[in-house]
Amino acid sequence: MDTSEDILQQSSPDLVRGPDTTRAAKAARLSPSFISWLQAGPMMLVFLAFFLIPLVFVVIVSFWDYNEYQLLPAFSGRGYTDTFEGCIAQLPDLCTIGRTYVKTLKLCVMVWAITLFIGFWVAYFLAFHVKSKTWQMGLSLLCTIPFWTSNVIRMIAWIPLLGRNGLVNSGLVKSGLINQPLEWLLFSEFSVVLALVHLFTFFMVVPIFNSMVRIDKSLIEAAYDAGATGFQTLVNVIIPLAKPGIVIGSIFVITIVMGDFITIGVMGGQQIASAGKIIETRVNALQFPAAAANAVILLIITFLIITMMSRIVDIKKEL
């Protein structure tokens, strides 16, 4: 991209005029790769200092020892043995960590299935049924705005609706469908799933919508012309072409739910265990190596899930 200027400068330096000539000469002397480093370096440094090195520390500390109140920097597998305590003795029953992961995965699958269903059809509507660009922009924005507002507020927003005396319960009681308020609406697994779907369907809608708008409309017309029914077009044309978006959205939703501890904490009334919640509990007890060991386990499982899913699609190509 610099070539035109370089050639210009070499062939007839007088052509590059103006008060900036010296600066231009200086800039031209900087090699392109040096400029790239200057441009990308700061962001790389932030990721290095606040993401990559911290991850390394998580792994290191997971092998340290600890007592009631501090870290002891000496090699120990205690973080892991404490975590898996009783796992072999209790076989064939699951130990605490096993049960927690099964529970987290169950939540994951439920939230994934629901967000995929909602996200797919919302994206489908926006991509194929909304014809005007202005409307498409406006409606996409309508779906995005909540993402820019606070998650906690969007969680507590369910309290007046789902609580014991909330709108749903009082409505159901008044209509005579139930005699007394349902207790499982709030601070339950139900409310956790509901809140997670409410918060994170956005992460499904965006990538699926992105894949769908890139689908050449003439392909769909060709399918119809060739006699395909709407359902056949959906299954054989649209879904395969929207697959990258579906996979990326699924990765987002699954990793968020796997590591979530806030939604599960707030909406589960701090009563439901999850993979993320264990880490928080250990940190609050100042058992950092155990927290780190749990973080490593969570990281490995998340990584495995992502690897399996990205087998289906090359993420880098799709962005």
Partner 1 sequence: MTEGRPRSFYVLAIFFAAYVLFLYGPMIAIYVLSFQGPQGGLTFPMNGVSTFWLQKLFQGTGIVDLGAAFRRSLLLGIIVMAVTVVLSVAAGMAFRRKFKAQSILFYSAIASLIVPSIITSLGISLEFRIIDDLIKAHWNENFETSMGLLTSGLGAHLTWTLPFGLLIMFAIFNRFDPRLEEAARDLGATPWQAFRHVVLPIILPSVIGIGLFGFTLSWDELARSSQAIGAVNTLPLDLQGLTTTVTNPDIYALGTIISAVSFAVITLALGTIHMLNKRQAAKGSDAGKGLV
Footprint (CB under 8 A) of partner 1, residues 184-223 = 198, 201, 220-221
Q: Which of residues 72-101 bind partner 1 (CB under 8 A)?
A: none
What is the footprint of partner 1 within residues 248-307 (CB under 8 A)?
Answer: 251-252, 255-256, 258-262, 266, 270, 276, 279-280, 283, 288, 291-292, 295, 298-299, 302, 306
Close Cβ partners of 214 (under 8 Å, ≥ 6 residues apart): 241
Q: Please tell me whether residue 235 binds partner 1 under the rule CB under 8 A.
A: no
What is the rounded distance in angstroms from the CA atom of residue 287 to the CA atom of residue 281?
9
Among residues 35 and 178, whose Cβ is nearest to partner 1? 35
Q: Are 82 and 91 in contact (CB under 8 A)?
A: no
* CB 96 to partner 1: min, Å: 18
Q: Please, which residues bridge with residue 66 across strands?
A: 71
Q: Give the span between the Cα atoms of 44 and 49, in whole angstroms.
A: 9
Q: Retrieve residue 221's tokens.
A: 């017309």
Position 36 contacts partner 1 (CB under 8 A): yes
How near is the Cβ of 90 to partner 1 at its closest, in Å?
26
Q: Does 32 bind partner 1 (CB under 8 A)?
A: yes
Write phi, then psi, for 73 (nearest 5 degrees): -75, 70
The residue to which tokens 């495995």 are assigned = 304
Site membership for partner 1, residue 24 (CB under 8 A): yes
In the complex, least distance from residue 149 CB atom to partner 1, rounded to whole angstroms: 5
Under the binding rule (CB under 8 A), the answer on residue 163 touching partner 1 is yes
Q: Which residues pair with 64 in a beta bridge?
A: 75
Closest CA to 25 of 38, 15, 33: 15
Specify the residue for token string 């017309």.
Answer: 221
Within residues 108-147, the interface with partner 1 by CB under 8 A covers: 118, 121-122, 124-126, 129, 139, 141-143, 145-146
Is-contact 274 103, C-beta < 8 A? yes
The CA distance from 95 to 274, in Å, is 14
Nearer to partner 1, 88 or 200 (CB): 200
**Minimum CB separation from partner 1 for residue 88, in Å?**
26
- In this structure, is the dihedral angle defined by the CA atoms of residues 148, 208, 274 and 70, taken in order, positive or negative? negative
Q: Which of 63, 66, 158, 200 binds partner 1 (CB under 8 A)?
A: 158
Q: Which is nearer to partner 1, 43 or 74 (CB)?
A: 43
Which one of 10, 11, 12, 18 is in contact with partner 1 (CB under 8 A)?
18
231 binds partner 1 (CB under 8 A): no
Residue selected from 40, 72, 219, 239 as contacting partner 1 according to rule CB under 8 A: 40
Q: How many CA atoms lie within 13 A of 16 on its CB side?
A: 19
Residue 308 touches partner 1, criterion: CB under 8 A: no
